[in-house]
Structure 1
Amino acid sequence: MNGFNRRDFFRTAGAMGMMGGLAEMGLAQPVGAGPVLHEVAASAAWENDAPKHSINFAVCGMSHDHIYGMTNAIIRGGGKLVAFYGSEPNKVARFKKQYPDAKQMESEDAILHEPSIQLVLSSAIASERAPLGVRAMKAGKDFLSDKPGITTLEQLAAVRKTVKETKRIYAIMYSELLEVKGAIKAGELVRQGAIGQVIQTINIAPHQIVQGGGGAAGGADPRPDWFWVPEQYGGILCDIGSHQVDQFLYYTGSTSAEIVESQISNIAHPEHPKFQDFGDMVLRGNKGFGYVRLDWFTPDGLGTWGDGRLFILGTKGYIEVRKYTNVGVSKAGNNLFLVDGQQQRYIDCNQVSLPFGPQFVEDIVNRTHIAQDQEQALLAAELVIKAQMQAKWVKLT
């Protein structure tokens, strides 16, 4: 113990601990490190304006509760819901309670042959949406389908043929882009060149089969029988993957693309042997690369139906969007993070305006494709169908 001085020892140890703490606090920043900026994105000036146009629309099939988001988007845009039809009594009862002013029709044909209806919306069983859309277009109406809007290449060919012949619109509600404020803001920043040329998108898209805390988006009700049958719901890549492939095309600007590799698996649902609870795919477009991971394993502790993440890599920076929550920090969604050559930015996007509804109603009236590019919507559908068809089934040991 010669030469040992307890007071000097603790003084030295304390100083060393403080230096470590300073480093952790970020005070030992490298030369040239830029500021961290916190912002709140503003709503658009037009948001409080009355819609420019009005159309009559109907709902035909409501097997998935996405129909409520779709319906509300068109109403925000100036649409008037005048009629609906559904074949499932529990779904019909809930929809009728939500929209009591709309007339309940006795059949699909009654809606398709009603001349005052300009637009038909549907969230019928996924495999039934495209045939209904073809009939609607041939009856002179535009069509907005829940995703996936198409489940086979034969359906896709029929949709493309009918679009060309009738000049009608076949839109697909890829809501994880069109109805997510953080994703809308990311698109604005990409178009402004905030991160340079986009190189790659990565989408992490976990979902929850039955959400413990309730909420229609997460499947609070027991899933119907068709949910477990790939021939009806399309398979995991075609179904929830359609959101992500649409974003890959949108952010990279790709007008052609291919599936490099895809795989699927059933890891934890042996009681439904054909169900797919995990899948991923790699994409290569003419203007960028993409990777998508999908699963049905969101735990109840998250408090929402999925911790969806979008990463956009550019030549001069990158963007991350934490769409539905900010894990361990806040339950608020629409969190956007941007890093470029000068700074780091956090942007709260919860006040951002959603343009799809007004733009789509204008498209119906003006025969334009501002809200959604027709070719891109159908290309996204084609890619996920092909990803599903060529996916390798992997069984983990």
Structure 2
Amino acid sequence: MSYRFAVIGCRHGHIARFIDEMQRMGHTCAGIYDAGDGSLARKLAEDYNVPYMNDVDALLEPSVQIVGTSAINNEKMDVVELCERHGKAVIADKPLVTDRAGLERLENVLKRGRIQVGLMLTERYRRSVLTLKRRIDEGALGDITEVAIRRPLKLYREYREPWFFSKTQNGGIIADLMIHDMDLLRWLTGEPIDELHAVAGKSILPEYPDFYDTANIQAVLGGRIAASLHADWHASEKGWAADGRLFVTGTKGCAEVRLSGDPAIAEEELLFTVYGEQRFQREELALAESGLCEDFIRRIEGAEHSGPSHTDLWEASKAVITADETARRLKINTEW
């Protein structure tokens, strides 16, 4: 079945993946709309040869069945609730919520069950992570005892809009970046998150008093698995990549994912494992059986899918909001 889709709220380039995947599957974009600064919306409309819209109502007509959004983070639930009122499935760039009030609004939408809501938890679709998931499910690593994820990213301050540095509008480093990690913890281990202990640090940009640039979280899953998460905005902008890593330790082996590869080996995602009779192995990466948008459409149609469910996006969102609320906050300069 062919769908018409639209973008309502366009303030982050991540939404290009939604447009690209939908068009590749043969679906038609009715247009892109943003109520504020429309510069990115205009650029993407030109890049993908789709209409730039000045009126959101045209994208709420019955002929449009699916909406994607990368609105300012604390405005995404406005788009979700708008889509609910008009009976349209909606998928959002992360994060979907930025605080407890947004989480409660999300909970209410999911409980009412009138529409399908999706979240672009794209890390699940990396070939390295998919292959790691398969090894875990096969039992190659034994019982999982520990997971560690490092997520250093490049700030590119000069390209960021002011809302990015606002805790109220953006949600902060834990909600914005570590939503991926909370989802991966549950997905890879199959266990719920029981405990969270977080620390956020501020060492730059005193002109933005509530912008924190590092975060560390210790977690316990299923009462038996320890997890350590780190995110920061300090990756060198001149460096070869934002060098994200994912480590899994089990009773029979271990694995390391290098999300951006290794400049000494290959500048593409890599998975290394040690288990069984293998001394050390660079894994051949599996191909994804489906894409992010393909899975979301299957969910809309009530078909079997491997993408995140309502429960998955709710649990990941709840985890980051809980961690953010309880985080100890440190400042390198106490006068800030």
Same fold (TM over 0.5): yes
Give the corresponding residue for 1:97: 46
Greater alpha carbon shift after TM alignment, 361-370 vs 258-267: 361-370
Give the corresponding residue for 1:181: 127
Deviation at 1:280, TM superposition (A): 0.8
**Equivalent residue of 1:208, what SS?**
coil
Give the corresponding residue for 2:251: 315
Give the corresponding residue for 1:340: 275
Deviation at 1:126, TM superposition (A): 0.5
Residue of 49, 54, 57 corresponding to 1:106 = 54
Give the corresponding residue for 1:119: 66
The answer to whether the 8 Å contact 2:195/2:220 transfers is: yes
Residue of 72, 77, 80 corresponding to 2:28 = 80
Q: Match for 1:72: what amino acid?
A: D
Deviation at 1:143, TM superposition (A): 1.1
Give the corresponding residue for 1:362: 298
1:290 has 2:239 as partner? no
Give the corresponding residue for 1:197: 143
Q: Distance in 1 between matches of 2:176 and 2:273?
A: 29
Q: Greater Rg, structure 1 or structure 2?
A: 1
**Equivalent residue of 1:157, what SS?**
helix
The answer to whether the 8 Å contact 1:64/1:124 transfers is: yes
Give the corresponding residue for 1:234: 171
Structure 1: gaps spanning 5 or more residues: 1-52, 211-218
Distance verdict in 2 for CA 1:165–1:352, change over 3 Å: closer
Q: Match for 2:96: what amino acid?
A: G
State TM-score, norm by structure 1.
0.78
Distance verdict in 2 for CA 1:167–1:319, change over 3 Å: farther
Give the corresponding residue for 2:3: 55
Q: Distance in 2 between matches of 1:138 and 1:199?
A: 44
Residue of 144, 153, 177 corresponding to 1:207 = 153
Greater alpha carbon shift after TM alignment, 73-82 vs 196-205: 73-82
Higher relative contact order (CA 8 A, sep 6+): 1
Structure 2: gaps spanning 5 or more residues: none
Distance verdict in 2 for CA 1:76–1:171, change over 3 Å: same
Q: Match for 1:392: what amino acid?
A: R
Q: Match for 2:169: what amino acid?
A: Q
Q: Match for 1:333: what amino acid?
A: E
Q: Distance in 1 between matches of 2:160 and 2:190?
A: 35
Aligned identity (percent) is: 25
Q: Distance in 2 between matches of 1:302 and 1:349?
A: 25
Distance verdict in 2 for CA 1:75–1:350, change over 3 Å: farther
**Equivalent residue of 2:283, what SS?**
strand
Q: Distance in 1 between matches of 2:194 and 2:172?
A: 18
Give the corresponding residue for 2:193: 257
Q: Match for 1:95: what amino acid?
A: L
Deviation at 1:77, TM superposition (A): 4.3
Q: Match for 2:68: what amino acid?
A: L
The answer to whether the 8 Å contact 2:11/2:41 transfers is: no
Q: Distance in 2 between matches of 1:60 and 1:301?
A: 34
Greater alpha carbon shift after TM alignment, 84-93 vs 241-250: 84-93
The answer to whether the 8 Å contact 1:202/1:310 transfers is: yes
Deviation at 1:358, TM superposition (A): 2.1
Q: Match for 1:373: what amino acid?
A: S
Deviation beyond 6 Å, 4+ runs, structure 1 = none
Distance verdict in 2 for CA 1:352–1:230, change over 3 Å: same
Q: Distance in 2 between matches of 1:322 and 1:148?
A: 23
Residue of 79, 91, 105 corresponding to 1:144 = 91
Distance verdict in 2 for CA 1:74–1:259, change over 3 Å: farther
Q: Distance in 2 between matches of 1:54 and 1:313?
A: 43
**Equivalent residue of 2:273, what SS?**
strand
Tell me the alpha carbon deviations over residues 285-315 of structure 1, each in whole angstroms, 9 at most, x when there is no partner.
Answer: 22633211010011134222x1010112222
Deviation at 1:65, TM superposition (A): 0.7
**Equivalent residue of 2:295, what SS?**
helix
Q: Match for 2:148: what amino acid?
A: I
State TM-score, norm by structure 2.
0.91
Tell me the alpha carbon deviations over residues 117-169 of structure 1, each in whole angstroms, 9 at most, x when there is no partner.
Answer: 11110011011112211221232111111111111222222222222223421
Q: Distance in 2 between matches of 1:375 and 1:367?
A: 17
Residue of 374, 380, 385 corresponding to 2:321 = 385
Distance verdict in 2 for CA 1:386–1:107, change over 3 Å: farther
Q: Distance in 2 between matches of 1:271 and 1:174?
A: 31
Deviation at 1:367, TM superposition (A): 5.8
